[in-house]
Amino acid sequence: MDRIRRYPELAGDHRRDLDAVLDAAAVGTLATAVDGLPWVVPMLYARDGDRIVLHGSTGAGALRQVAAGAPAAFSVTMLDGIVVADTLFDSTANYRPAVVRGCLTDFSGDDAVHALDLMSDSLIPGRSSEVRTHTKKELAATLAMALPIEPGCWTVRVRDAPPPEPSMDSVGWAGVVPLRTSACEPIPAPWVGADMPAPESVRRLVANGSP
Amino acid sequence: MDRIRRYPELAGDHRRDLDAVLDAAAVGTLATAVDGLPWVVPMLYARDGDRIVLHGSTGAGALRQVAAGAPAAFSVTMLDGIVVADTLFDSTANYRPAVVRGCLTDFSGDDAVHALDLMSDSLIPGRSSEVRTHTKKELAATLAMALPIEPGCWTVRVRDAPPPEPSMDSVGWAGVVPLRTSACEPIPAPWVGADMPAPESVRRLVANGSP
């Protein structure tokens, strides 16, 4: 995938591009080094201004190590389309990979409540205002963490373009197949009556077509 | 996200679940440790039986280190749905995270040609038979690598279930909002005539609705 560095449309590293990727995706991969070996775990996350908010169980061992300040890298990628060229070599993807490097800090109290609400609202906008707030027991079981987005500690690349132009007369079709992720019709839990309407946040999510 | 280990539907580690995740997704995150620090890069990949095939430019520095045999971890996650519970604490996602650990090997010759064809066909089934094969120059510029899928060196988790059942009478709606990624109408490159039909592989991809 590194080969696409050759294309000028991948230049950039604009903060607004980073924010767009972080706000569009829902899952990223958290990586750290444990005893010199790579350790990775996919995690739901939310962006909260100049930080990425993550959460996990207070029981998770390696996660605790990361939360304790070990250097970490968080990777998020949006795959926007498949780029079909005349050759396999020039075929690629329109994608937006982002990496944020830094040290995680854990936090608690009102800050944790705000962060956990944000995580839910990032997946389902408006959801946190429809349900009760977190109990002390729930907060005690949850490790809330933040990764700061600091200058010089992140990269984002944006490929959003047709295939590279062929050097000789193109003999065949070339173009882009866009990919789109949509929210589909909600499936009620088994104990929920079929006549109970989904909450407004869920109906809005489906109406908007995507998370 | 580790909190969901509590749910029995996440038990498993079946090889068929691993293959299903690897075959459904197109982008993963490759992680290694460089001087004790985590290094991550998102990459297109394909599964080739008992190995994961990756490729990059021969010019990429850190990639070369990984290809040279440094321990690596490759993380792939499918996000299948948003799980809406009565509480934010029990809300989560239906997702399938997979991690394969091992050492990458680079390879060349016919093996590389096969692997690169597979990478293309993994994104667009049948595409490799519609275009010319790789030139020597293209092959020389491409680093083809494989990560073996070995027993004990991978994990996969599958959450595919309604929200956890509420401990008291549920007072509100709960359920799952499924997410689906679709291939949309192809966009021809600027130099391609509007009357030129997209190749069969592309038309099939769009007709099938997803990569």
pLDDT (tens digit per residue) in B148-160? 999 999 999 999 9
Q: What is the DSSP string of B8-40?
A: GGG----HHHHHHHHHH-SEEEEEEEETTEEEE
Closest listed residue to residue B53, CA positions, set B26, B13, B15, B34: B26
In a domain, A175, yes or no: no
One domain for residues B134 and B90 = yes
Q: Is the pLDDT of residue B8 over 50?
A: no
Closest residue, chain B, to A119 (C-alpha)? B88
Q: Is the pLDDT of residue A56 over 90?
A: no
In a domain, A153, yes or no: yes
Total number of domains constituting chain B: 2
Inspect the interface and report whether the beta carbons of A3 and B183 lie closer than 8 Å: no
Instruction: Give pLDDT, residue A142.
Output: 85
Instruction: Give pLDDT, residue B62.
Output: 66
For residues B15 and B20, what is the distance between their CA atoms, to the nearest angstrom?
Answer: 9
For A87, which DSSP code?
S
Closest residue, chain B, to A162 (C-alpha)? B189
Which alpha helices (H) appear in chain A, and where do they start and end?
Answer: 15-24, 61-67, 110-123, 136-140, 200-208
Instruction: Give pLDDT, residue B7.
Output: 41
Instruction: Give pLDDT, residue A2.
Output: 32
In this prediction the ipTM stands at: 0.89
Distance to chain B for A16, nearest Cα, Å: 20
Q: Which two tokens stand for residue A143?
A: 């490790």
Instruction: Give pLDDT, residue A211.
Output: 64
Q: Which two tokens stand for residue B147?
A: 């990560």
In three-state secondary structure terms, B205 is: helix
CB-based contact A200:A130 (threshold 8 Å): yes
One domain for residues B117 and B144 = yes
Inspect the interface and report whether the beta carbons of A189 and B163 lie closer than 8 Å: yes
Question: SS3 for B173-199, per residue?
Answer: CCEEEEEEEEECCCEECCCCCCCCCCC
One domain for residues B37 and B53 = yes
Taking the alpha carbons at both ends of chain B, their separation in whole angstroms is: 27
Q: Is the pLDDT of residue A8 over 60?
A: no
Taking the alpha carbons at both ends of chain A, their separation in whole angstroms is: 27
Residue among A131, A175, A177 whose CB faces B183 most closely: A177
More confident residue, A17 or A11: A17
* CA-to-CA dists, residue A200 to A119, A124, B173, angstroms: 18, 10, 10
CB-based contact A98:A156 (threshold 8 Å): yes
Closest residue, chain A, to B4 (C-alpha)? A57
CB-based contact B182:B46 (threshold 8 Å): no
Rounded to 5 degrees, φ, ψ at A15 are -60, -35
Please provide the size of chain B in residues. Answer: 211
Rounded to 5 degrees, φ, ψ at B143 are -95, 110
More confident residue, A7 or A174: A174
Instruction: Give pLDDT, residue B12.
Output: 55
One domain for residues B86 and B106 = yes
B interface test, pick of A5, A40, A121, A208 with most B CB neighbours within 10 Å: A40
One domain for residues B114 and B11 = yes
Distance to chain B for A182, nearest Cα, Å: 5
The letter for the amino acid at B197 is: P
**CATH number of the domain to which A24 belongs:** 2.30.110.10
For A63, which DSSP code?
H
Average pLDDT over residues A137-166: 91
Q: Which two tokens stand for residue A53?
A: 């908010």
Per-residue pLDDT tens digits for B94-119 = 999 999 999 998 887 888 888 889 99
One domain for residues B153 and B77 = yes
Instruction: Give pLDDT, residue B61.
Output: 64
Total beta-carbon pairs less than 8 A apart between chain A and chain B: 306
Q: Which two tokens stand for residue B59?
A: 């010019």
Q: Is the pLDDT of residue B205 over 80?
A: yes
Inspect the interface and report whether the beta carbons of A138 and B199 lie closer than 8 Å: no
Per-residue pLDDT tens digits for B138-188 = 888 888 899 999 999 999 999 999 998 887 666 789 999 999 999 999 999
One domain for residues A105 and A201 = no
Pairing label, strands A142-148, A27-34: unpaired
* CA-to-CA dists, residue B206 to A76, A94, B143, B187, angstroms: 25, 16, 30, 12
Distance to chain A for B93, nearest Cα, Å: 8
Least confident of A79-83, A106-110, A165-169, A180-184: A165-169
Q: Is the pLDDT of residue A123 over 50?
A: yes
One domain for residues A156 and A200 = no
Distance to chain B for A147, nearest Cα, Å: 14
For A20, which DSSP code?
H
Residue among A75, A178, A188 whose CB faces B29 most closely: A75
Q: Is the pLDDT of residue B63 over 70?
A: yes
* Contact residues, chain A, for B100 at CB < 8 Å: none
One domain for residues B52 and B70 = yes
Distance to chain B for A200, nearest Cα, Å: 10
Closest residue, chain A, to B135 (C-alpha)? A89
In a domain, A79, yes or no: yes
Residue among A27, A72, A180 whose CB faces B38 most closely: A72
Q: Which residues of A149-166 are buried (b: 16+ CB within 10 A; e: fewer)?
A: beeeebebbbbebbbbeb
One domain for residues B11 and B75 = yes
Inspect the interface and report whether the beta carbons of B63 and A2 lie closer than 8 Å: yes
One domain for residues A94 and A193 = no
Distance to chain B for A48, nearest Cα, Å: 18
For A3, which DSSP code?
G
In a domain, A19, yes or no: yes
Inspect the interface and report whether the beta carbons of A2 and B37 lie closer than 8 Å: no
What is the residue whose two structure tokens read 């775990």?
Answer: A41
Least confident of A74-83, A125-134, B31-40, B62-71: B62-71
Closest listed residue to residue B38, CA positions, set A1, A147, A15: A147
Inspect the interface and report whether the beta carbons of A38 and B211 lie closer than 8 Å: no
One domain for residues B49 and B152 = yes
Show the domain range for A202. 180-211
For residues A44 and B17, what is the distance between their CA atoms, to the nearest angstrom?
Answer: 21
Average pLDDT over residues A37-62: 86
Average pLDDT over residues A86-93: 89
Q: Is the pLDDT of residue A19 over 80?
A: yes
Inspect the interface and report whether the beta carbons of A42 and B131 lie closer than 8 Å: no
In a domain, A168, yes or no: no
In a domain, A46, yes or no: yes
